[in-house]
Copies of this chain bind each other. A is one copy, B any other.
């Protein structure tokens, strides 16, 4: 933990669940944390395993994956830096409901799950902010259901790319580059679509100047057109 002591309180003081806390509380929380690095492809936690720790992603990108018994994978969401993950106790669970896999090199802090109740009881605003996070994830899941149930595949893929581009991008000369590795297979697992369909759509959109894509890279080159394809905000609250 010596490397952590050199980390400044500013590292987490801006993150919503910790934003209302005094410096002394933040120091206490950091002292109870263990930092850990994961490299691309490593599992941070696994679906169905006992949720012995909860995590804060400080740097990097994480893919949340669920797998059916038949072996089909669905990407439930992406987590970007500043988000809590593996917060099973916030939803009354003792096992992780999904797996979390590092997409690129990640730095996380983790705490033993038995500290969760302490954090909730002791730190002002921690509970409220984390339940807000839980609520946002329910909304996301419900929007995903609406999309899968009512939208055509073209719209679903457009919305998935749009959401990722807004959530996590770097601006380049080409346009908004989604700033972590993203393959066509990943996109198919996010949208319940075949790899063939994703490839067909991306090729068509590339010809129309809406996106460009490489092996693990997607750049949105015309955000306006992508929004039109996605028919943004059909639910009024997404």
Contacts and interface: CB of A to CB of B under 8 A. Distances in A.
A76 B143 CA distance: 10
A92 B132 contact: yes
A145 interface: yes
B236 A142 contact: no
Contacts of A69: 233-236
A66 B145 CA distance: 10
B74 A146 contact: yes
Given A70-B234, A149-B148, A92 B141 contact: no
A139 interface: yes
Given A48-B236, A76-B145, A145-B145, A150 B70 contact: yes
Name the interface size band of chain A.
Answer: 35 or more
A192 B70 contact: no
Nearest to A235: B68
A132 B91 contact: yes
A137 interface: yes
B145 A144 contact: yes
A85 to B, nearest CB: 13
Contacts of A95: 237
A131 B90 contact: yes
Nearest to A128: B92
B145 A93 contact: no
B142 A97 contact: yes
Given A69-B235, A92-B132, A97-B142, 8 more contacts: A48-B237, A68-B234, A72-B146, A88-B135, A90-B135, A131-B131, A134-B134, A141-B142
Interface of A: 48, 66, 68-70, 72, 74, 76, 88-93, 95, 97-98, 128-129, 131-139, 141-142, 144-146, 148-150, 189, 191-192, 233-237
